[in-house]
Structure 1
Amino acid sequence: MSQERSAVLVVDDDPSVLRSLERLFRVEGYEAETFSHPRQLLQRVPTPGPQCVVMDLRMPELNGLELQEELRRTGWRHPIVFISGHGDVPAAVKAMKGGAVDFLPKPFSAADLLAAVERALAQDRQALAVQEEREALRARFATLAPRELQVCQLVAEGLLNKQIADKLGKAEQTVRLQRSRVMEKLAVDSVAELVRLMEKLKGAPQG
């Protein structure tokens, strides 16, 4: 997995909050980026590595919940921690249902905020690890020729070489050779391992 430094992106229309949170996160060893307007985050160029957003609930033009929804529409996958100076229970419930990691009412302690941020970053690191594993898996399967992929799928279904040969109209020796190449290219030693890889590939979102 990539070892980029974890980043915390802070969105708040209060300059004093932005300054204090930026200092807090930098002292703790995180990269910190601040945004005084929600649309600035929407315009940010995506960067690699684990990251999360700490955002205020009430902001002009686009509030936190609206920004959360807009981020989701644009394909944003990084976790969000909400902070709010208003005890708005319905908003907190909506934020959490929308996938927020936490909802902290102001005033909150630095320890509580840092704990929430670390939970969010841990979630993002795990998601990145899964994504990288899936990309590596797709790359391995991409090395298979079309006929090898056919044989691979039939082997995973439990068919024997002779059955595969009959189904594809090939010589059994040809199937045996292609099966051997499949196992070598995918770096597996057994049909059980091959089946597990195929299941992981099926479970991976496309694109």
Structure 2
Amino acid sequence: MPFRNAIVYIIDDDQSVRTAKARLLKSVGLGVQTFGSAREFLDHDRADVPGCLLLDVRMPGLSGLDLQQELVARKVDLPIVFMSAHGDIPMSVRAIKAGAVDFLPKPVDDQVLLDAVGQAIDAHVLERRANAELSDIHARIESLTPREREVLMLVTEGLINKQIASRLGISLPTVKIHRRHLMEKMGVASVAELVRMVEKSGVSTP
């Protein structure tokens, strides 16, 4: 800590808890937004920055576990740190299995809370970075012509230019042109880099 531009969303129906946790998190340089209910949070526009939820389990209306399910359904990727004064093992297991980073019993030790929030934000930063990289790779692949994509797949299978020319029924100079263009579009200088990108993308051979 601190995490530049990170925001922790505190959702708890207890005003005193929201105030105390907000003060703690702000003291280490984190941005904080507080909400008295899960519905209030869902109706709020969120900034496109790393962050996490510090979420009470039992609240009027939507519970913390209900909110977790709703966020999964909406494909909201914010990590969750649960807090509860009434938690039990089945409840915590359910929350963790659904993707929560941690499940902390109230009252929560300040350092334990900061460590859990730090872990959650670290995870979100890495996930956002991986998603951005994957989106970039897919965009680069989409920019290829159909023939360039065919050559791409054959290159990543380990075929040399002469074999690719034979497989596709085109001339060797044409293969070399397509190969040069696709390497430029993919932004790589070696076949090894190209193979790693295609493996990350999950794109299969047509």
TM-score higher than 0.5 = yes
1:42 corresponds to: 42
Matches within 5 A, 1:1-207: 5-202=5-202
Distance in 2, Cα, partners of 1:86 & 1:57 = 8
Write out the 4+ residue segments of structure 1 that deviate beyond 6 Å after TM superposition.
none
The Cα shift of 1:39 comes to: 0.9
Q: Distance in 1 between matches of 2:67 and 2:179?
A: 50
Instruction: Give 1:117 shift.
Output: 0.4
SS at match of 2:140: helix
Task: Return the alpha-carbon distance in structure 2 between the equivalents of residues 21 and 189 of structure 1.
Answer: 49
Contiguous gaps of at least 5 residues in structure 2: none
Distance in 2 separating the partners of 1:165 and 1:189 = 21
Q: Quick check: 1:53–1:81 contact (8 Å CA) kept in 2?
A: yes
**What RMSD, in angstroms, separates the aligned Cα atoms of the two structures?**
1.7
Paired amino acid for 1:142: E
1:121 positional shift: 0.6
Q: Which residue identity is paired with 2:118?
A: E
Q: Matched residue pairs, number? A: 201
Aligned residues with identical type, % of pairs? 44
Q: Is the 8 A contact 1:4 1:49 kept in 2?
A: no
**Given that residues 8 and 53 in structure 1 are in contact (C-alpha distance below 8 angstroms), is that contact kept between their aligned partners in structure 2?**
yes
Measured after TM superposition, the shift of residue 201 of structure 1 is 1.3
1:158 Cα deviation from its structure 2 partner: 1.8
Query: Which deviates the most, 192-201 or 53-62?
Result: 192-201
In 2: Cα distance, 1:201 partner to 1:83 partner? 37
The TM-score, its normalising length taken from structure 1, stands at: 0.90
- Give the gaps of 5 or more residues in structure 1: none
